[in-house]
Amino acid sequence: MCGIVGYVGHRPASDLLLDGLSRLEYRGYDSAGIAVVEDREIAVRKRRGRVAGLIELIESHPVEGSIGIGHTRWATHGDPSDVNSHPHLDESGRVVLVHNGVIENHDRLKARLSETGCGFRSSTDTEVVAQLIGWHLEQFIESGHAADDPETCWSALRATLDELEGTYGLGVLFRDCPGHLWAARCGSPLVIGVGEQEYFLASDTSPLIGYTRDVVYLDDHDTARLGRDEIEVRHRDVGTRDVAVQTIQDEAVDVELGEFPHYMLKEIYEQPDSIRSAMRGRMDGDDATAVFGGLNADAGELRRIDRIVLTACGTSWHAGLVGEYLIEEFARIPTEVEYASELRYRNAPLTDTTMVFAITQSGETADTLAAVRECRRKGHKTLAICNTVGSTIAREADGGIYLHAGPEIGVASTKAFTSQVTVLALLALYLGRMRHMSFRAGEAFLESLEAMPELVARTLECHDAVREVARRFADCGNFLYLGRQYNFPVALEGALKLKEISYIHAEGYPAAEMKHGPIALVDERTPSVFVTPRGGVYEKVVSNLEEIKARGGPVIAIAGPDDERIAGLVDEVIPVPDVPEFLQPLVTSIPLQLLAYEVALLRGCDVDRPRNLAKSVTVE
- Binding interface with ligand M6R (CB under 6 A): 313-316, 360-362, 365, 368, 411-413, 496, 500, 616-617
Nearer to ligand M6R, 361 or 382 (CB): 361
* Shortest distance, position 365 Cβ to ligand M6R, whole Å: 3
User: What are the distances in angstroms from CA 464 to CA 194, 458, 469, 470?
Assistant: 46, 13, 9, 10
Nearer to ligand M6R, 337 or 522 (CB): 337
Number of H helices, E strands in the chain: 20, 27
Nearest to 2 by CA among 20, 25, 22, 23: 25
Rounded Cα distance, 583 and 117, in Å:
64
Give the active site residues: 2, 615
- SS3 letters across 475-525: CCCEEEEEECCCHHHHHHHHHHHHHHHHCCEEEEEEHHHHHHCHHHHCCCC
Nearer to ligand M6R, 21 or 496 (CB): 496
Nearer to ligand M6R, 131 or 593 (CB): 593
Nearest to 556 by CA among 579, 526, 577: 526
* Shortest distance, position 340 Cβ to ligand M6R, whole Å: 8
* Shortest distance, position 394 Cβ to ligand M6R, whole Å: 11
Rounded Cα distance, 237 and 234, in Å:
9
* Shortest distance, position 411 Cβ to ligand M6R, whole Å: 5
* Shortest distance, position 260 Cβ to ligand M6R, whole Å: 18
Rounded Cα distance, 430 and 424, in Å:
10
Q: What dihedral angle (degrees, nearest 10) is formed by the CA atoms of 554, 559, 565, 568?
A: 30
Nearer to ligand M6R, 504 or 570 (CB): 504
Rounded Cα distance, 562 and 525, in Å:
27
Nearer to ligand M6R, 364 or 572 (CB): 364
End-to-end CA distance of the chain: 11
DSSP 61-113: S----SEEEEEEE--SSS-S-TTTSSPEE-TTSSEEEEEES-BTTHHHHHHHH
* Shortest distance, position 602 Cβ to ligand M6R, whole Å: 19
- Do 36 and 11 touch, CB atoms closer than 8 A? no
Nearer to ligand M6R, 324 or 572 (CB): 324
Residue with nearest beta carbon to ligand M6R:
314
* Shortest distance, position 497 Cβ to ligand M6R, whole Å: 6
Rounded Cα distance, 248 and 10, in Å:
23
